[in-house]
Structure 1
Amino acid sequence: MGAVRILYEDDHLIAVDKPAGVIVHGDGTGSCTLTENVRDLVERRGGSPEQIAGVQALQRLDRETTGIVLFSLRKETQAAFDRIIAERAIEKRYLAIASGRIRTPREITAPIGRDRHDSRRMRVSRTGKSARTVITPLDCAPADQRAPERTLLEVDLHTGRKHQIRVHMAHIGHPLLGDRLYGGPGAFQLMLHAAELAFTHPITGERVRITAPYPKRFEALFDRRG
């Protein structure tokens, strides 16, 4: 991958804009990871071996999902960030493009568990873990030469289940464009972007809001520059 795009930084934390196709943690295949790239950045800046080793991802995004990923920079303060994540004290907002037309906001609370027939997938399951996703349509477009009928969504994620947004959107009959795993139209990259995080900094007490730029692959289907 190219240069790491920094979205926010202080003495304890760094937030970067993850590109598509990059994994956050190693998966045993030898693929370059976002974590390695952030550690390389700290090293190039003259960080000590302890500082480099202290770089740890605080959450993850799927390989094809883009947007904000938080990294702790100090082992001695990482637990404080882990705690606010475990307590769901971080507001998470995504942008997504779903297939079909969605006219009104909607809350989806279907529980999510593993798919016993396909280890890559999650599914809505009565015995799964609770999950809550709130979607708000921002714009709709009819089918044209670029893509089928589609809706640009703002998505508020209130829990953090694996593939939660993707599973919930497929469950209501509007899989995300590019989400071949869950039945979405496949001639695209996955149209899911971690656009905003907000939280009270557990070390400084300040209110932090981090945003990631609107992705170019979204511009081709919904131009929001105006």
Structure 2
Amino acid sequence: MKFSFILPESLPSMTVKRLLEDYFLIPRKIRHFLRTKKHLWVNQKEVNWQSLVQPGDELTLFFDDQDYPDKDLLLGEANLVEELYQDQHLIVVNKPEGMKTHANQPTELALLNHVSAYVGQTCYVVHRLDKETSGAVLFAKNPFVLPVLNRLLEKRQIKREYWALVEQAFQQREAIFREPIGRDRHDRRKRRVDPKQGKRALTRVSRLKNFPHQALLKCQLETGRTHQIRVHLAHHDHPLVGDPLYNPHKGPRLMLHAHRLRFIHPFSQKEICLEAPSASFEAQIQLLKNKG
């Protein structure tokens, strides 16, 4: 593999060593290979680890097969992928409801397998959506980019905005739910609010529209706990319509959709803001509007 890109203007001057360790988060083993094999160039020239890099410099990295061994992954069906954005580093796709983000078994096919077939190489999951949830999902196109994107996710610099259709009218215009979330001891599939042993969880909720017996909400995650939106809303007596785990009433589907994904691209430093459509979600909302 070979990567060449221009260092962004917002990047301060720093040594090659600091760039690889603190900015790109390249693992120590890989940094060792780059240094000993002289597989890092700046402006088409070999450099040492204490050389300074400046905004606008061209960085070129070379990787052998032993640096990043091929990951054995069963390829899926490329025609099942709806691309929202793609460049040499990453791809964002629109996941349909009813499809897993990644497989649990080697012979199972999931969105990751289909995306890898679409791109023509093994891709890597940056964040996931529940099987029943639809919307925008981010994948790294190679293992070098993965830790950089993971860092953005950990620092909450990848903003995820969801649409949620819930039971009952939502009286507040805005709310913040902070209840810690832990495992449900009685059902391994579920999570629950657990003030004592649960992990920190924060969900911001805004009301978009009230219907007679339901409400359309916008939810933004500040943390990434499993089933976070589903658990918080159910705990506050507004379970998601069609939620098979937290709502006993049936619905057309789990009415949760990752509507918008926004982040600053780590290499270009340009803002990427993407919206994912969902025909099934939007049809249900239109049906409620028509009932008026």
Equivalent residue, structure 2, for 1:137:
207
> Which amino acid is the alignment partner of residue 188 of structure 2?
S
Query: Could you tell me which amino acid in structure 2 is paired with residue 173 of structure 1?
Result: D
1:140/1:161 CA distance change after superposition, 3 Å? same
**Structure 2 residue aligned with 1:220:** 283
Q: CA RMSD in A?
A: 1.8
Give identity over the alignment, percent: 39
Deviation at 1:217?
2.2
Could you tell me which residue of structure 2 aligns to residue 17 of structure 1? 94
Q: CA deviation at 1:192?
A: 0.3
**1: CA distance between counterparts of 2:82 and 2:115?**
10
In the TM superposition, residue 12 of structure 1 has moved relative to its aligned partner by: 0.4
Contact 1:99 1:185 in 2 (8 A): no
Q: Structure 2 counterpart of 1:106, which letter?
A: A
Asked whether the equivalents of residues 175 and 184 of structure 1 are also in contact (C-alpha less than 8 Å), the reply is no
Aligned to 2:158: 90
Q: Are the counterparts in 1 of residues 257 and 281 from structure 2 also a CA contact under 8 Å?
A: no
What is the rounded CA distance, in whole Å, between the counterparts of 2:258 and 2:119 in structure 1?
23
Task: Name 2:243's counterpart in structure 1.
Answer: 179
Q: Which residue of structure 2 lines up, in the alignment, with residue 56 of structure 1?
A: 124
Q: Secondary structure at the match of 1:196?
A: strand
Matches of 2:142 and 2:167, distance apart in 1: 42
| Equivalenced residues, count | 209
Instruction: Give the residue type in structure 2 aligned to 1:128.
Output: G
Superimposed CA distance per residue, residues 170-199 of structure 1 (whole angstroms, 9 cap, x where no aligned partner):
000010000120125223210000011111
More displaced, 18-27 or 160-169? 18-27
What is residue 118 of structure 1 aligned with on the other side? 187
SS at match of 1:165: helix
Structure number with greater CO (CA < 8 Å, separation at least 6) is: 1
Q: Aligned in 2, Cα 1:29/1:12: closer, same or farther, shift over 3 Å?
A: closer
1:110 counterpart letter in structure 2 = E
After the TM superposition, which parts of structure 1 deviate over 4 Å for at least 4 consecutive aligned residues?
none
Instruction: Tell me by how many angstroms 1:30 deviates.
Output: 4.1
Q: Distance in 1 between matches of 2:141 and 2:186?
A: 39
**What are structure 2's unaligned runs of at least 5 residues?**
1-76
Alignment check: 8 A CA contact 1:131 1:160 kept: yes
Per-residue deviation, 1:223:
2.4
Residue 136 of structure 1: how far off its partner (Å): 0.9
SS in 2 for 1:151: strand
Q: Normalising by the residue count of structure 1, what TM-score does the alignment of the two structures yield?
A: 0.87
Q: For the structure 1 residues 61 and 86, does the alpha-carbon distance in structure 2 shift closer, same or farther, using more than 3 Å as the test? A: same
2:148 paired residue number: 80
Within 1, Cα distance between the matches of 2:159 and 2:111? 22
1:74 & 1:30 partners in 2: Cα distance? 22
Point out where structure 1 has 5 or more consecutive residues left out of the alignment: 44-51, 143-148
Q: Using a 3 Å threshold, how does the CA distance of structure 1 residues 56 and 29 change in structure 2: closer, same or farther?
A: closer
| Offset of residue 140 of structure 1 | 1.6
Structure of greater Rg: 2
Q: Does 1:109 align with 2:172?
A: no
How many angstroms does 1:216 deviate by? 2.0
Please state whether the residue corresponding to 2:245 is helix, strand or coil: helix
What pairs with 1:193-204 in structure 2 (closer than 5 Å)? 193-204=257-268
